[in-house]
Structure 1
Amino acid sequence: MAVGCGIPFGPPRRAGGGCALPPPGGSRREAAELLETWQVPVAPDLPARELSVEQRQLVEIAGALSLGARFVILDEPTAQLESQAIHRLFDRLRALREQGVTFLFISHHLPEVYEICQRVTVFRDARHVVTDTVAALDRDRLVAAMIGEARGLVQVGADRPAVPPDADPVLELTGVSVPGAVEHVDLTVRRGEIVGVAGSAASGKRQLAEAIAGLRPRGGTVVVAGRPVRGGTVRAALAGGIGYLPGDRNVDGFVGGLSIAENATMTIAGKLGPGVLVLPSRRDAEARNMIAELDVHAAGPHQPVGELSGGNAQKVVMARALASDPEVLVLVQPTAGVDVRSKESLLGAVDRQTRERRGALLVSDELEDLRVCDRVVVMVGGRVVAEHPRGWDESRLVAEIEGIGEDDDQ
């Protein structure tokens, strides 16, 4: 889905229309002036790798405008941003639009379309479906255009059975800490249960998930199905029964040049042949089962993941998390940057897998993701500060995430 809004215009180009680089002595000064002009609060000497996702987005926009761009394409710019950062980004876009800059805003997140855009165009299966003003295109019509069916999306998990209070714990965290991010978290996930974790980007929720998956050093104990799991190693986490879906599939989720079969079976390569060998026939058979189970739209197991749409690539990452038959799934932003049908499919997979026998810890900024959960805990400043059963109140949850107490609302 692509959305364009505004009137074409941009900062004037240099005389002669060139884009010559400034001399080394002046590059820092020009960068500082550029960042100040476009109100990007970043020091010009700061290495790009140290920028937050929000800062990277703003620097990229400023860079495009510095070249005299009259038209800027934003492809899923909010996929990895928390709510406050999204609001700040939208404020910048509105200010630039008032100055005459045009944006093509590509997104799968429907509320954003209605918040920031004036016109919307829907493409489905590489075909143009509809173009209209946002005001004239209500949500039901927009969803129907995107998924090809004149019906609303299924409320995934609406009929989930209650988890018995005496169900066996499948994941037990006791005093788990991550240096500089998480302080003494105690949390239990029972078999058949999905526990959501909400919080701001500074809450420590993502660091907690990464520590459980062995990607960060941690203190405290992690116990899966009654067995302690050694920290600080991905191999130990996999062997201990933890399946992990990272928050950024393009960076940590897959190798674009490798096939669906190779990506999906990475965690079980040692089980696909004798010794250190991988038998292609067994690998492809596993991949075909995963493609069918998760409804991956692809030419077959040999297609490179880099050729897939975002939603189908995310399904491959989910397949890899499930390949080792884990006791518990740790999922970070499982529906980031995917279309509404893929969102339904991915959350449906989590729902099905946990109804059978697993548990899941689902970390997300998306309230729609958290609605599939049996309960949701809120993290602030590296600690769990609240817990809510299914049916939680949205305004209260958001207030807790943003660190707003009842007294602050009055």
Structure 2
Amino acid sequence: MDQAPPPAVQAEGVVKRFGPTVALDGVQLTVQPGESHALVGRNGAGKSTLVSVLTGLHKADAGTVTFGGEPAPAFGDTTAWQSKVACVYQKSMVVPDLTVAENLFLNRFDDNARWISWGRLRKRAEQLLADYGVQVDPNTRARDLAVEQRQFVEIARALSFGARLIILDEPTAQLDARGIGRLFDKLRELQSQGVAFLFISHHLQEVYELCTAVTVYRDARHVLTAPVADVAKTELVAAMTGEKSGGAVAWHAAGTATPPDASAEPVLRTEGLTLEGRFEPLDLQVRPGEVLGLAGSAASGNTALGEVLAGMRKAGGGTVRVHGEAVRSGSVPHALAAGIGYIPEDRHDQGLVLGRSVAENATLTVTDQLGPWGTVLPSRTREFARGMIDSLDIKTQGPEQPVSGLSGGNQQKVVVARALARGPSVLVAVRPTAGVDVKSKDSLLGVVRRVADEGNAAVVVSDELDDLRVCDRVLALFHGRVVATFASGWTDGELVAAMEGVGERE
């Protein structure tokens, strides 16, 4: 009897810590040759950390990893790791201005020649692409390829090093239905050649379409490994969320918030709002006292929708109105003037000027109020900032402290202070509690609730369930379309199912 081949990768008892944070707590994973194996879990479950360990970017603190039955290469031996495994990330890693051939053999054009033979390079590329059935012209510049074609090129490049395990991190995030179909066809073809895939996705219906086995992580621990055919979708969602019967309750205690008046004129209204490739035409109404949630993963279009509302992106069509007045699309100054405050997704890249003080960051949106004739008076800046510091309980040495010296939660409070500085009628918050501790999370969500309770409107854009509990109403988006609407009191399971595209409810 033929002995079964060793697993393409096997991880046992893997532990990884970052300071006091345990990112992986004795997890395991086994992917067989020729298998598409799904790895799923909510944000913070440990998926990305495992990928960094499996690709040699981080060294595990404990546990073992083997490829094809052999121990993983020594940490830091990049060439050896490339011969074992590769990861195709959601953001393409090809160099857009280089040709397909140049990308395939980047940094290894011809080790034995003094000069590059471009003709020989193209022939090598043609042969490599033909070996794996990738129908792409090697002379085409990478920027001119379709998204799934760039992924094919990255996969072919990885295979050319000898890797037989390919990790796919949210590979369908930027693909339409036809692109997803072409990608899956190619993956199945490569599986028949013995290539193994670790498929990481928030879209559970794709797990059932492509994969034969699934592993679930939750809170840095291994929860479940089973054949996909043996796990019902409701069981898979329950394993991801850890939800017990009865589900979750609303973030704010019952009876503490007054339900929005359904007959009141909306504070925020959109009509036919769209952004090509991101979300379909959308009509929204958010009334005084209401917090609306836009739930969905990175590919759902919810973040792009939040950015359109805040003027960070120009809509493809439709209108945004605040108190009945149209807001100029794609204009942050006009959105601010119309009464829209904005908490961006990434406080470091979009929310803060790290080299500046707490006061300067908190008052960026109100510099026109800090002195006569366009001047900015330091004394008035500090005075204004002190009011925001007291109001939001920002832990700081004072208004002049560099914002870079604050904790993550207090940095986020400075971003919130800036968003609230003009007394907005509408607060748009994109993943407002990302990377903050539990206490700061509760405080920040309390601010969002307070904005609405004062008679304004708030929109929370997030895939974090705790963020969405503050909402009076939640719309679940999937691939740019609203697939379900929930009143407060939803359960984790039903909302996650809607965000993952496995449950629809209007």
> TM-score by structure 2 length?
0.55
Q: 1:207 aligns with which of 297, 304, 325?
A: 304
Relative to structure 1, the CA distance from residue 231 to residue 301 in structure 2 (aligned partners, 3 Å threshold; closer, same or farther) is: same
The CA RMSD measured in Å over matched residues stands at 3.1
- Any conservation in 2 of the 1:176–1:221 contact (CA below 8 Å)? yes
- C-alpha displacement of 1:318: 0.4
| 2:310 counterpart letter in structure 1 | A
**1:255-270 mapped onto 2 (5 Å cutoff):** 255-270=353-368
The residue number in structure 2 matching 1:287 is 385
Distance 2:370 2:465 in 1: 38
- C-alpha displacement of 1:393: 2.6
The residue number in structure 2 matching 1:250 is 348
- Any conservation in 1 of the 2:203–2:500 contact (CA below 8 Å)? no
Distance 1:334 1:13 in 2: 36
Q: 1:37 aligns with which of 81, 84, 88?
A: 84
The residue number in structure 2 matching 1:187 is 284
The residue number in structure 1 matching 2:415 is 317
| 1:112 counterpart letter in structure 2 | D
The residue number in structure 2 matching 1:144 is none
Distance 1:284 1:355 in 2: 28
Distance 1:287 1:114 in 2: 42
- Any conservation in 2 of the 1:35–1:41 contact (CA below 8 Å)? no
- C-alpha displacement of 1:395: 1.4
Alignment deviations for residues 126-176 of structure 1 (CA, whole Å, 9 cap, x no partner) = xxxxxxxxxxxxxxxxxxxxxxxxxxxx95464211111122211001100
Distance 1:8 1:179 in 2: 46
Distance 2:368 2:504 in 1: 53
- C-alpha displacement of 1:114: 5.6
Relative to structure 1, the CA distance from residue 365 to residue 344 in structure 2 (aligned partners, 3 Å threshold; closer, same or farther) is: same
Alignment deviations for residues 11-63 of structure 1 (CA, whole Å, 9 cap, x no partner) = 3267xxxx8x9xxxxxxxx5xx745634412575347xx9x9xxxxxxxxxxx
- Any conservation in 2 of the 1:213–1:330 contact (CA below 8 Å)? yes
Structure with the greater alpha carbon radius of gyration: 2
- Any conservation in 1 of the 2:251–2:466 contact (CA below 8 Å)? no
Distance 1:44 1:184 in 2: 31
- C-alpha displacement of 1:7: 1.2
- C-alpha displacement of 1:394: 2.2
Relative to structure 1, the CA distance from residue 280 to residue 38 in structure 2 (aligned partners, 3 Å threshold; closer, same or farther) is: same
The residue number in structure 2 matching 1:24 is none
The residue number in structure 2 matching 1:340 is 438
Relative to structure 1, the CA distance from residue 199 to residue 86 in structure 2 (aligned partners, 3 Å threshold; closer, same or farther) is: closer
- Any conservation in 2 of the 1:157–1:372 contact (CA below 8 Å)? no
Distance 1:13 1:295 in 2: 44
- Any conservation in 2 of the 1:209–1:330 contact (CA below 8 Å)? yes
- Any conservation in 1 of the 2:264–2:288 contact (CA below 8 Å)? yes
Alignment deviations for residues 249-288 of structure 1 (CA, whole Å, 9 cap, x no partner) = 1110101010110001000001110112111111111111
Relative to structure 1, the CA distance from residue 115 to residue 354 in structure 2 (aligned partners, 3 Å threshold; closer, same or farther) is: farther
The residue number in structure 2 matching 1:3 is 22
1:163 aligns with 2:163: no
Structure 1, unmatched stretches of 5+, are 22-29, 53-80, 89-110, 117-153
- Any conservation in 2 of the 1:194–1:362 contact (CA below 8 Å)? yes
- Any conservation in 1 of the 2:498–2:504 contact (CA below 8 Å)? no
- C-alpha displacement of 1:8: 7.0
Structure 2, unmatched stretches of 5+, are 1-19, 26-60, 65-71, 97-142, 148-172, 174-199, 205-217, 224-249
Q: Which has the higher helix share?
A: 1
- Any conservation in 2 of the 1:245–1:318 contact (CA below 8 Å)? yes
- C-alpha displacement of 1:179: 2.1
* SS of corresponding position for 1:384: strand
- C-alpha displacement of 1:217: 1.2
Distance 1:335 1:188 in 2: 24
Distance 1:374 1:13 in 2: 49
1:274 aligns with 2:372: yes
Determine what percentage of the aligned residue pairs are the same residue.
48
The residue number in structure 1 matching 2:489 is 391
**1:38-57 mapped onto 2 (5 Å cutoff):** 38-42=85-89, 45-46=94-95
Relative to structure 1, the CA distance from residue 13 to residue 272 in structure 2 (aligned partners, 3 Å threshold; closer, same or farther) is: closer
Relative to structure 1, the CA distance from residue 286 to residue 113 in structure 2 (aligned partners, 3 Å threshold; closer, same or farther) is: farther
Relative to structure 1, the CA distance from residue 157 to residue 319 in structure 2 (aligned partners, 3 Å threshold; closer, same or farther) is: farther
The residue number in structure 2 matching 1:327 is 425
* SS of corresponding position for 1:165: coil
> TM-score by structure 1 length?
0.68
- Any conservation in 1 of the 2:293–2:475 contact (CA below 8 Å)? yes
Distance 1:209 1:405 in 2: 23
Distance 2:473 2:503 in 1: 20
- C-alpha displacement of 1:399: 1.1
